[in-house]
Chain A
Amino acid sequence: MAVLVIAEHDNASLNDATHKVVTAAAKFGGDVDVLVAGEGAGDVASAAGKISGVRKVLHADGASVAKQVAEAMEALVVPLMDGYDAVFIPATTMGKNIGPRIAAKLDVMQLSDITDVIDTDTFERPIYAGNAILTVKSSDAKKVITVRGTAFDAASEDGSASVESVDAPAGPFKSEFVSEQMVKSDRPELAGAKRVVSGGRALGSKEEFDRLIVPLADKLEAAVGASRAAVDAGYAPNDYQVGQTGKIVAPELYVAVGISGAIQHLAGMKDSKIIVAINKDEEAPIFQVADYGLVADLFVAVPELTEAL
């Protein structure tokens, strides 16, 4: 049996989400190979070879897969699947974009966002914003799976797998990369951060969000997150959104500031180890999941907390 893992990376460095998917793939069983598709991503391919338990790395280098657009990734991965029983893909926006496209081409039902591997046919995944856990059995011969990173530990790095070249598909494709605007930040990445400070609508403006949330996050060396309401109001960029349809996080410490705690937000953070909530409304649902709740005016409490750390 053999499993193909698709690596998450930005051509410069390998994202930790890949290590977590390797753990899930190892639980499925068989040989685990990692596909690194990118342009000039040689360092990423070498890094993937260091992940423990990896048999070999397949490296596709070319402009067509530089941004991992779905049409090119389909052309690359579908033929490779002749040699694999399953493909495991991180449930990042990259993985969510390409997984179902590959599955449909293979005529199989994808298993989205799995949180556990029970056996080679049976998997666990959250449904209804994590308010129910589905154990589901697939009758498809090949499995296409996206993996929720927070549910698996990252595989360690004491491997020395060889890197093998595979051809990047030749374009042109029906979709073409035009540009990207990435939020530059020295902070830890939200999805994998050990600590997260999130702000909600109660902050009232982008200025207050930046003035209160950012210094607290700096002090805690935390990533910054936000509720949907705060993102919709423009206080924080889109990809800061924690929740059912945004980022799923499970840090050691999650600090929710001025967030009421809608079901959809809780879905994205309730697996955090320690949750702190600061909110002036003592009836806010966030307090039902918080380990430590502080009923207070955030405009007073947050600067005080930042100062005290």
Chain B
Amino acid sequence: MKVLVPVKRVIDYNVKVRVKPDQTGVDLANVKMSMNPFDEISVEEAVRMKEAGTATEVVIVSIGPQQAQETIRTALAMGGDRGILIKTDETVEPLAVAKLLAKVVEEENPDLVLLGKQAIDDDSNQTGQMLAALLDWPQGTFAYKLEKDGDALTVTREVDGGLQTLKLTTPAIVTVDLRLNEPRYASLPNIMKAKKKPIDEKAPGDYGVDIAPRLSVVKVTEPPVREAGEKVEDVATLVSKLKAAGAI
């Protein structure tokens, strides 16, 4: 089966985010950027499927600025076969991303699109579900386990209260959760090899998709700061403080 894996370039998960003083957004100048951690998990899963012989080709796609090419290269170094960069400097909302991806799906005809469940920048958790709706494909979100079962896919999902297992016809959309796998680090030889793998460069206009945003930022502000409290000496003091505060 052919697998399409969309990846997003986001602020590195270890970076402490700073809100711009003019409240227009967060400061991304000179900040370390990386592949969205959930997307690393989806790349890893696709590559494992290829290694196991269930996937025939792994195509990586990213929508973003020129530097998103580096994110695609990282995914190719992990084992992806080729890449597609849809280049734009605009902010592309999940609905527009899903519309662009739907066009890529039309061209590429994958049997499975594997996405991260959410990007850690805008925390929207929307793109996979939207893509499934636009294509009228089944969706298995928040995957904990993914197995091929003949022509179908069995997806075990992380849900409130436990785990839920669904059977999806293919083609299908699966979004991955944290426990699906542990992504590999690309080896140096594979990083070198990835430099030779092809990346197609496109623009949103090539797909005839309107990416004009539906949402506008009114302001971005700092959350209320929580002050550190006090250190207590011992358990007895802790208990009396909690009693005094009415917490117990």
Q: Which residues of chain A have a CB within 8 Å of any CB of chain B?
A: 10, 67, 69-71, 74, 92-94, 96-105, 107-113, 122, 126-140, 173-183, 191, 220, 228, 231-232, 237-239, 241, 244-245, 247, 252-253, 263-264, 270, 273-276, 282, 287-296, 301, 304-305, 308-309
Contact = CB atoms under 8 A, between A and B. Distances in A.
Interface string B12-51: 0100110100000010000000000010000000000000
Contacts of B214: 108-109, 138-140
B238 A288 contact: no
Interface pairs A-B: 4 shortest CB-CB:
A291-B229, A174-B138, A100-B129, A104-B130
A177 B131 CA distance: 21
Nearest to B212: A139
A294 B231 contact: yes
B118 interface: yes
B132 interface: yes
A288 B227 CA distance: 7
Contact of A132 (B120, B127, B223): B223
Contacts of B138: 71, 173-175
A174 B169 contact: yes
Given A180-B165, A275-B229, 8 more contacts: A102-B133, A112-B124, A134-B220, A238-B144, A253-B242, A287-B228, A291-B230, A308-B235
A231 B95 CA distance: 32
A175 B93 contact: no
Contacts of A304: 235
Contacts, number: 257
A132 to B, nearest CB: 5
Contact of A179 (B126, B133, B139, B165): B165
A127 B123 contact: yes
Contact of B139 (A102, A129, A175): A175
B133 A101 contact: yes
Contact of A309 (B139, B163, B234, B248): B248
Contacts of B228: 287-290, 293
Interface string B99-136: 00000000000000000011011111111111111101
A293 B232 contact: yes
Interface of B is mostly: mixed
Contacts of B163: 180-182, 238
Contacts of B177: 238, 245
Given A96-B125, A180-B164, A274-B242, A128 B17 contact: yes
Contact of A103 (B126, B139, B172, B247): B126
Interface residues of B, number: 81
Contacts of B120: 128-129, 244-245
Interface string B127-171: 111111110111111101000000000100111111111111100
A274 B226 CA distance: 11
Nearest to B10: A128
Given A110-B126, A132-B17, A174-B169, A122 B218 contact: yes
Contacts of A245: 38, 117-118, 120, 177-178
Contact of A126 (B123, B144, B215): B123
B166 A244 contact: no
A11 B224 CA distance: 38
Contact of A239 (B95, B159, B172): B159
B196 interface: no
B215 A238 contact: no
A253 B19 CA distance: 29
Nearest to B158: A238
B159 A128 contact: no
Nearest to A231: B179
B178 to A, nearest CB: 7
B148 to A, nearest CB: 15
B133 A105 contact: yes
A92 B120 CA distance: 17
A262 B163 CA distance: 25
B133 A74 contact: yes
B221 A109 contact: no
B216 interface: yes
B139 A228 contact: no
A131 B160 contact: no
